[in-house]
Amino acid sequence: MPTYSASSPSQVFEDSQIWDSLKMAIASSSGFQSWQMEHQPIDERYLDTSLDYRVQRYLRETLETLAY
């Protein structure tokens, strides 16, 4: 069974930089732009959802569709 150790601060920083780069690339893609237009929030309380949340939701929904 694999063991997992705590990440070092430099690894956490590097992972954060990678996620930020991926998030920006995904957010600029035509697929994400189309998805976002289809999921315009009706309720104003969702207007301030973070890009991080929206990209994660897009990826989750895309993977669920592909898995089906």
- pTM assigned to the model: 0.71
More confident call, 1 vs 19: 19
Between CA 56 and CA 62 the distance in angstroms is: 10
pLDDT tens digit sequence for 32-59: 999 988 887 665 666 667 889 889 999 9
Q: Judge whether 19 lies within some domain.
A: no
In this structure, is residue 56 part of a structural domain? yes
Q: How many independent structural domains does the chain possess?
A: 1
pLDDT of 5 > 90? The answer is: no
Query: How would DSSP label each residue in the chain?
Result: -----PPPHHHHHHHHHHHHHHHHHHHTSHHHHHHHHHT--SSGGGTT--HHHHHHHHHHHHHHHHH-
Residue 35 resides in a domain: yes
C-alpha torsion angle, residues 64, 65, 66, 68 (rounded to 10): 90
Average pLDDT of the chain, as a whole number: 83
